[in-house]
Structure 1
Amino acid sequence: MRPTSQSEQEQLESLQKWWKENGRTVIFGVLLGAVGVIGWSSWQAYAIRQAEKSSLGYERLVNLVNDKSRDEAIVQGESLIEEFPDSGYAPLASLIVARLAFERNDLEKARANLRWVIDQGKSTPVRRVARLRLARILASEEKWEEAITLLNGDAGAFQGLYEEVRGDILLARGKVAEARLAYERSLAGSGRPVGGELAERIRMKLSDLGNAPTSGRTDIQ
């Protein structure tokens, strides 16, 4: 499986850091409406418990992934999503579960988790990551139109990656000229030139277009 691209990983790491620092405050805000019903003291204690449990649950998930305990990580991730679906940790956990499921070739579970993030996630960057990854899975299954639909619309900082996948899909369908245009848009990124790993990869694809394969699996990042 191709490793997660640098720009995508940096975005996710920033979101994870933000939630680690601010997740408890956000959960307090979500639960604020309960104050009048259960009383301030009870609410405060409950909110603290929920914030700590969701934070610790996500930390445990990350540790399990780092320890290569994939089966346990999937169980932990699904438990966190079920128990704290409205927290900012749930979509991040769902992205992790989707990636682990993909690595086990459980595409149904991977798709379901990514669709959940797209439908339920409150963070626009996280939803964009989910759209990108789901598009890759659908492309690997040759569900071209569904994949392209996910790539349409505002991609924000992920524009270069979106156009790369669009180019891969067009190339797989034999539309070489359109694929070239998509790759060129990928190099332009979101209105500015891109560098690093993505630019190098796209330039290689552009130079190899004449020998590009007409089908094949597109990896999820």
Structure 2
Amino acid sequence: MAYDLEEQEQLASLKAFWNQYGNLITWILIAALATFAGYNFWNRYQASQAGEASVLYGQLQEAIVKKDAALTARAAGDLESKYGKTAFAQMGALAAAKAAFEANDLKTAKAQLQWAIDHGDDEYQSVARLRLSGVLLDEKNYAEADKVISTGVQPQFAAEVSDRKGDILVAQNKLAEARTAYEAAYKAMAKAHPGRQLVQVKLESIGGTVPADPATETKPAA
């Protein structure tokens, strides 16, 4: 009988607790379930977007190989308008810009690179800025070419920025400043960097000297 009484007291306490807090608990559970469902939906949506974007990116690559400018532009435009938040759209803009540049369509190349700058992640923006600077350099728009890479480029691209600045300065016959820029680029590049030898050639061609690597410098006798 004592057990029954204790059980009844516990039941009464539970009912009182539920009357006071049950509605709140129910809403918390509903909110948690809704959040979980939303998270799962978003993951599925993102996966679906990436899958569709990858197919379209493949079509873009095929169009580039075929040198079909109209299809390339259409595929790049679809990637940017429908899947602009995916990496495929950013890669597509860079690829379409390269194809346009090689076809001497500088207007389209600049437009695609500007889209990558405006919508891309940090690294894609940096690459787009460097490439846009190169297009502007070809157009002899030196001030704008320098401006594009003077801000917004990630630190890991410092060597490439110095290299490009050297190119811009050489084009303006500012050789002393160009040598300083190329020296900075050379120092910032690892020995295995594919562009290091080219920077050396450019530096030496304007009367510069390759900076000695700290590891190979002769240390003074003790």
TM-score category (smaller protein): 0.5 to 0.7
- What is the CA RMSD across the aligned residues, in angstroms? 2.6
> What secondary structure sits across from 2:195 in the alignment?
helix
User: Which AA in structure 2 matches 1:142?
Assistant: K
Shift of 1:207: 1.4
Partner of 2:126: 128
Instruction: State the identity as a percent.
Output: 31
Deviation string, structure 1 residues 36-78 (Cα, Å, up to 9, x no partner): 8x9899877755543321122123323443x434433332222
Separation in 2 of the partners of 1:167 and 1:92?
A: 27
Separation in 2 of the partners of 1:144 and 1:44?
A: 45
Indicate yes or no: 2:113 matched with 1:114. Answer: yes
TM-score by length of 2: 0.67
Larger C-alpha radius of gyration, 1 or 2? 2
Separation in 2 of the partners of 1:126 and 1:56?
A: 20
User: Which AA in structure 2 matches 1:202?
Assistant: V
> For the structure 1 residues 42 and 150, does the alpha-carbon distance in structure 2 shift closer, same or farther, using more than 3 Å as the test?
closer
Partner of 2:198: 201
**Mean Cα displacement is larger for which, 78-87 or 180-189?**
78-87
Unaligned runs of 5+ in 2: 1-33, 208-222
Partner of 1:217: none
Separation in 1 of the partners of 2:46 and 2:124?
A: 24
> What secondary structure sits across from 1:197 in the alignment?
coil
> What secondary structure sits across from 1:184 in the alignment?
helix
Alpha-carbon contact 1:187-1:194 (below 8 Å) kept: no
Alpha-carbon contact 2:117-2:125 (below 8 Å) kept: yes
Taking CA–CA contacts closer than 8 Å with sequence separation of 6 or more, which of the two structures ends up with the larger relative contact order? 1
> For the structure 1 residues 174 and 57, does the alpha-carbon distance in structure 2 shift closer, same or farther, using more than 3 Å as the test?
same
Deviation string, structure 1 residues 74-119 (Cα, Å, up to 9, x no partner): 3222221122122221111111111111111111111111111111
> Where do residues 39-78 of structure 1 align in structure 2 (5 Å cutoff)?
48-65=47-64, 67-71=65-69, 72-78=71-77
Alpha-carbon contact 2:122-2:154 (below 8 Å) kept: no
> What secondary structure sits across from 2:84 in the alignment?
coil
